[in-house]
């Protein structure tokens, strides 16, 4: 059986407590090391970029809620699975939240501009600031944004096409 939220692992370096941080994937965990006031973030918070949200298992709304949970922890450092250590966790989490919500606004703007469209049409519009070699991954996160917008009643899906509601 795998670790879950609140599971404690005792290591030579100290105790680590699991913190459920779904979003990137439904079973994602970070590890809180209270005596060192740090959180090992794995793929939840990266040092160089924002993580891919991978639907149907990953969920944008859960990712945003997990960022709030991390921001509230009594920690001074985020230690990503990729990239350098990050100081000021509440600031980092707020910046990632702003980034995701700004991207979501771009999704809505793209939908308004094109009407109904498949992911392939939306990716270059929404991710024009991202290297095209990464558009395959961007499409996964775009789908996560679109699914969130559908759940919020702001977008609709008919077959493989998406539109503003």
What 8-state DSSP symbol labels residue 116?
A: S
Beta carbons of 146 and 55 less than 8 angstroms apart = no
Query: Is residue 1, in this structure, part of any structural domain at all?
Result: no
| Average pLDDT taken over every residue of the chain | 95
Query: Is residue 39, in this structure, part of any structural domain at all?
Result: yes
Count of structural domains, the chain: 1
Q: Which two tokens stand for residue 96?
A: 């990632």
Residue 2 pLDDT:
66
CATH of the domain at 145: 3.60.15.10
- Domain holding 142, by residue range, is 8-164
Query: Is residue 2, in this structure, part of any structural domain at all?
Result: no
Residue-wise pLDDT for 45-77, tens only, equals: 998 888 999 999 999 999 999 999 999 999 999
Beta carbons of 107 and 145 less than 8 angstroms apart = yes
Query: Is residue 3, in this structure, part of any structural domain at all?
Result: no
3-state secondary structure of 54: coil
User: Is the confidence at residue 1, as pLDDT, over 50?
Assistant: no
Residue 47 pLDDT:
86
């Amino acid at each position: 059986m795998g670790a879950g939220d609140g599971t404690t692992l005792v290591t030579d370096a100290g105790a680590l407590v699991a913190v459920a941080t779904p979003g990137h994937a439904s079973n994602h965990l970070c590890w809180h090391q209270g005596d060192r006031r740090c959180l090992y973030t794995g793929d939840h918070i990266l040092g160089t970029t924002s993580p891919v949200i991978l639907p149907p298992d990953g969920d944008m709304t859960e990712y945003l809620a997990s960022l709030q949970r991390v921001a509230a922890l009594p920690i001074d450092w985020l230690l990503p699975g990729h990239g350098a250590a990050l100081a000021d966790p509440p600031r980092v989490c707020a910046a990632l939240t702003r980034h995701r919500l700004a991207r979501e606004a771009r999704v809505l703007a793209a939908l308004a501009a094109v009407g109904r469209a498949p992911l392939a049409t939306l990716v270059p519009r929404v991710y024009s600031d991202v290297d095209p070699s990464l558009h395959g991954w961007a499409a996964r996160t775009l789908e996560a944004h679109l699914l969130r917008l559908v759940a919020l009643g702001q977008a609709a899906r008919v077959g493989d096409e998406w539109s503003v509601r």
